[in-house]
């Protein structure tokens, strides 16, 4: 494969990275995309840090060898905040574009000074996330809200399965803070699954807030690292999706097809998952 024909690999534990893929495709129209969902290990949200880091290092090594991408987007806050530095150290030739909670833009934009970060339990506990708050939002009051269940709810919702409003409401309620006449005006979507639920969040919110989705900024960063080509580099090969658990079920396949992704069913050795 020539350098120019190498695909962009977009990686997440599940379907959340599709929120980043859809922006990246707009800005990088000439490349082929390979989407990888590590559904064998989903959800990453409550994995112990070291086990998740080891798992990601091993899995990424296999994916990079198999797909030889030009660039790899880690479209998962939970993965990147724990293993971004280790991945860059282990695979120094590979440009990794990461995903971290959009705390800096939230701090720049808030008028009330009350910002919430809605993410997985793993992401809200990370030193990385605390570091972002100290560096960029020291003057704000930041509420960290870790949800064990929301990523799974987004997975179900996107497959057309029922997800009760009350369950979603219970997960987002803690984001809404009132303090001395001020109230939360920005909620950072710190998990790539959540933008799929943004309309439900808007409907269930006790008052309107900005729901900050970093997908476009991630796509712009990826774009800036690739040379611009005047023509499609792989015009006849469709974008594809692969699942570490193996062949996905009907609903998942239908969802992938609705995103224009051909499901890659190539038999491969199972991924060892040791949480
Ligand atoms: N989509 C992932 C993120 O951005 C997390 C989902 C999971 O718990 O695996 O954090």
DSSP character string of 75-137: --HHHHHHHHHHHHHH-TTSPEE-----HHHHHHH-SSSEEEEEE-HHHHH-HHHHHHHHHH-
Distance 57 CA to ligand 1 centre (A): 17
Among 3, 2, 5, 77, which Cα is nearest to 34's?
5
- Residues 8 and 90 reside in one and the same domain: yes
Name the β-bridge partners of 142: 115
Q: Is 72 a catalytic residue?
A: no
- Residues 199 and 139 reside in one and the same domain: yes
Is there a domain that residue 80 lies in? yes
Cβ–Cβ contacts within 10 Å for residue 211, how many?
A: 20
Is there a domain that residue 150 lies in? yes
- Residues 180 and 236 reside in one and the same domain: no
The total number of structural domains in the chain stands at: 2
Structure tokens at 127: 């030193």
Strand order in the sheet with 186-189: 141-146, 114-119, 186-189, 210-212
CATH code of the domain covering residue 83: 3.40.50.1860
Residue 263 three-state SS: strand
Alpha-helical runs (H) found in 6-76: 18-27, 49-67
- Residues 66 and 193 reside in one and the same domain: no
Is there a domain that residue 207 lies in? yes
Strand order in the sheet with 33-37: 96-97, 71-74, 8-12, 33-37, 240-243, 262-263
Q: Give the phi and the psi of residue 209 in degrees, each rounded to 5.
A: -135, 165
Contact in structure between 114 and 143 (CB atoms under 8 Å): yes
- Residues 61 and 187 reside in one and the same domain: no
- Residues 91 and 144 reside in one and the same domain: no
> pLDDT of 206-245, one tens digit each?
999 999 999 999 999 999 999 987 777 666 789 999 999 9
- Residues 119 and 200 reside in one and the same domain: yes
- Measured CA to CA, the distance from residue 18 to residue 209 in angstroms comes to 24
Q: Are strands 96-97 and 8-12 parallel, antiparallel or unpaired?
A: unpaired
Distance 14 CA to ligand 1 centre (A): 7
Tokens 């992401």 correspond to what residue?
A: 123
- Residues 111 and 86 reside in one and the same domain: no
- Measured CA to CA, the distance from residue 234 to residue 22 in angstroms comes to 18
Helix H or strand E segment including 71:
strand 71-74
For residue 24, give its domain range.
3-99+217-264
Distance 10 CA to ligand 1 centre (A): 13
Query: Ligand 1 in contact with 239 (CB < 6 A)?
Result: no
| Catalytic option among 72, 76, 140, 175 | 76
| Catalytic option among 72, 140, 175, 191 | 191
pLDDT for residue 186: 98
- Residues 16 and 109 reside in one and the same domain: no
> pLDDT of 37-70, one tens digit each?
999 999 999 999 999 999 999 999 999 999 999 9
- Residues 113 and 207 reside in one and the same domain: yes
Contact in structure between 195 and 19 (CB atoms under 8 Å): yes
Q: Nearest residue CA, atom 2 of ligand 1?
A: 76
pTM for the model: 0.95
- Residues 95 and 225 reside in one and the same domain: yes
Digitized pLDDT (tens) for each residue of the chain, 275 residues in all = 676 689 999 999 999 999 999 999 999 999 999 999 999 999 999 999 999 999 999 999 999 999 999 999 999 999 999 999 999 999 999 999 999 999 999 999 999 999 999 999 999 999 999 999 999 999 999 999 999 999 999 999 999 999 999 999 999 999 999 999 999 999 999 999 999 999 999 999 999 999 999 999 999 999 999 998 777 766 678 999 999 999 999 999 999 999 999 998 876 665 666 65
Burial class (CB in 10 A: 0-12, 13-18, 19+), 12: buried
Residue 46 three-state SS: coil
Among 18, 6, 1, which Cα is nearest to 76's?
18
């Amino acid at each position: 494969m020539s350098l120019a024909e190498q695909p962009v690999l977009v990686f997440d534990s599940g379907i959340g990275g599709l929120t980043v893929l859809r922006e990246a495709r707009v800005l990088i129209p000439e490349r082929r995309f390979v989407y990888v969902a590590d559904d064998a290990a989903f959800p990453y949200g409550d994995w112990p840090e070291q086990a998740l880091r080891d798992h990601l290092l091993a899995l990424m090594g296999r994916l990079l060898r198999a797909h030889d991408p030009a660039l790899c987007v880690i479209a998962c806050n939970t993965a990147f905040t724990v293993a971004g530095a280790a991945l860059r150290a282990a695979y120094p030739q590979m440009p990794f574009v990461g995903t971290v909670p959009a705390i800096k833009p939230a701090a720049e934009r808030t008028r009330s000074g009350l910002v919430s970060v809605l993410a997985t339990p793993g992401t809200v506990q990370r030193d990385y996330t605390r570091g972002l708050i100290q560096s960029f939002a020291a003057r704000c009051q930041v509420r960290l809200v870790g949800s064990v269940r929301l990523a799974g709810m987004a997975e179900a919702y996107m497959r057309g399965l029922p997800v009760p409003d009350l369950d979603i409401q219970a997960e987002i309620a803690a984001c809404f803070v009132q303090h001395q006449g001020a109230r939360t005006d920005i909620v950072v979507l710190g998990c790539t699954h959540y933008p799929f639920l943004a309309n439900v969040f808007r409907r269930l919110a006790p008052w309107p807030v900005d729901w900050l989705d970093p997908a476009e900024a991630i796509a712009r960063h990826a774009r800036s690292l690739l040379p611009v080509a005047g023509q499609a580099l792989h015009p006849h090969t469709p974008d594809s999706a692969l699942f570490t658990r193996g062949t996905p079920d009907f609903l998942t396949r239908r969802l992938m097809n609705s995103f224009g992704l051909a499901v890659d069913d190539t038999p491969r050795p199972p991924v060892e998952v040791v949480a």
